[in-house]
Amino acid sequence: MNTAGNAISALSGEYRTMVMLVDDQAMIGEAVRRALADQPGIHFHYCDNGPDALRIAEQVRPTVILQDLVMPNASGLDLLRQYREHTALHDVPVIVLSSEEEPAIKSEAFSLGANDYLVKLPDQVELVARVRYHSKAYTNQIQRDEAFRALHESQRQLVEKNLALERLTHVDGLTGLSNRRYLDQFIDNQWRFAVRKSQWLAVLMIDVDEFKRYNDTHGHLAGDEVLKKVATVIEGYCQRPTDLAARFGGEEFLVVMLPDPADAAVLVAERLRNEVEQAAIPHASSSVCNVVTVSIGGARCVPKREGNYIDLIQKADEALYQAKHLGRNRVVVLDA
């Protein structure tokens, strides 16, 4: 979902574009969210389950639907047909997303009522331009009748609810990183994606060294500030849609990535560890260093269909234990 700052403009009465993406791949959802995040007047809602798309669209009242064609549990073309048969969604513009240019499927999509066709992932400038164009055409249409007032009010109420819901369902309240609930959803999707593509998947488990001693010496409020600063460093290494930084629990964080090549995970971990140390946050009671440091345990593998991402996290935890045992403020990465 988009930021609170963008949502405030909707609450003050300014009309906004509401984009709903229906796609089962979390990394596509994250890529589109990031492409739209800084665009004024655009609000984003993500649906990763095709069978729920119609119900969610009724609630969200989108002004543009981005619809994936190929999903494991639903047909994008069938959903397009259902949108056009639905009274409330009949006129909502639908931009079809496909992995490649396929003339036959493109022709069928347009015959079923698609308004546009994009090969994913589209260029950000092109995506924003097409979203704004179709949304404006749609809103110009509905502004001519009473339905516009009902749409505006339902969107206002939805944004109010989403501002609170987003904090509860996706974001850790202290650090601003993703929370454990969203992490589990994301890494499960990335595991299945890596299985299909035979790609490397890696996790980094990051622990603030001797954090209890820091709290005992400097106080818990200062400890909270340390976690925020460390989280900011970690987030700086998760700029791709395929990366995610999350608070795992307490003073532990987890990074999920699709490293290419596999050794990239080691390089990222070492740079991250060094940047935390170079931040020079005083830690008077540390037996490791006079500043705050982190230990990092990593694990990487090419996932197999019969495997489970939990095993990868457990391997990273084992590597973290080794890093601590070797003296902390270091990186250990194991193959799972």
The token pair at 275 is: 């940047």
Residues 192, 56: one domain?
Answer: no
In a domain, 173, yes or no: no
- 275 part of the active site: no
In a domain, 174, yes or no: no
| Burial of 232 (C-beta count, 10 Å sphere; 0-12/13-18/19+) | middle
Residues 30, 156: one domain?
Answer: yes
Q: What CATH number did the domain enclosing 123 receive?
A: 3.40.50.2300
Those residues with Cβ within 8 angstroms of residue 32's Cβ, 6 or more apart along the chain or in another chain: 19, 21, 23, 44, 46, 66, 121, 127
**Residue 259: what residue type?**
P
- State residue 104's pLDDT score: 87
Pairing of strands 244-249, 64-68: unpaired
Q: What CATH number did the domain enclosing 293 receive?
A: 3.30.70.270
Please say which residue of 168, 203, 220 terminates a domain. 168
Please say which residue of 168, 192, 216 terminates a domain. 168
Residues 144, 226: one domain?
Answer: no
Beta bridge partners of 44: 19
Q: Which of 30, 210, 235, 251 does the annotation list as catalytic?
A: 251
pLDDT tens digits for range 144-156: 766 677 777 788 7
Displacement of CA 334 from its chain's centroid (Å)? 26
Structural domains counted in the chain: 2
In a domain, 15, yes or no: yes
Residues 134, 186: one domain?
Answer: no
Residues 133, 222: one domain?
Answer: no
CB atoms within 10 A of CB 43: 25
Q: How far apart are CA 336 and CA 311, in angstroms?
A: 8
In a domain, 66, yes or no: yes
Residues 163, 185: one domain?
Answer: no
In a domain, 216, yes or no: yes
For the chain, how big is the Rg over CA atoms in Å? 22
Please say which residue of 148, 168, 188 terminates a domain. 168
Sheet with 252-257, strands from edge to edge, namely: 244-249, 252-257, 201-208, 294-301, 331-335
In a domain, 117, yes or no: yes
**Residue 301: what residue type?**
C
In a domain, 175, yes or no: no
- State residue 167's pLDDT score: 61
Residues 144, 206: one domain?
Answer: no
Residues 306, 283: one domain?
Answer: yes
What residue has token string 């969610």? 56
CB atoms within 10 A of CB 305: 8
- State residue 89's pLDDT score: 93
Q: How far apart are CA 211 and CA 181, in angstroms?
A: 24
In a domain, 69, yes or no: yes
The answer to whether the predicted template modeling score (pTM) of the entire model surpasses 0.95 is: no
Task: Yes or no: say if 281 and 292 are a contact pair by the CB < 8 Å rule.
Answer: yes
Domain residue limits at 266 = 180-335
Q: How far apart are CA 68 and CA 28, in angstroms?
A: 10
Residues 283, 145: one domain?
Answer: no
Closest of 79, 66, 16, 22 to residue 43, by C-alpha: 16
**Residue 173: what residue type?**
G
What are the backbone dihedrals phi and psi of residue 99, each rounded to the nearest 5 degrees, phi first? -75, -15
The token pair at 293 is: 């440091």
Displacement of CA 172 from its chain's centroid (Å)? 13
Residues 100, 195: one domain?
Answer: no
Residues 22, 134: one domain?
Answer: yes
SS (H, E, C) the chain: CCCHHHHHHHHCCCCCEEEEEECCCHHHHHHHHHHHHCCCCEEEEEECCHHHHHHHHHHHCCCEEEEECEECCEEHHHHHHHHHHCCCCCCCCEEEEECCCCHHHHHHHHHCCCCEEEECCCCHHHHHHHHHHHHHHHHHHHCCCCHHHHHHHHHHHHHHHHHHHHHHHCECCCCCCECHHHHHHHHHHHHHHHHHHCCCEEEEEEEECCHHHHHHHHCHHHHHHHHHHHHHHHHCCCCCCCCEEEEEECCEEEEEECCCCCCHHHHHHHHHHHHHHHCCCECCCCCCCCECCEEEEEEEECCCCCCCHHHHHHHHHHHHHHHHHCCCCCEEEEEC
Which parts of the chain register pLDDT below 70? 1-15, 145-147, 163-164, 166-168
Residues 188, 98: one domain?
Answer: no
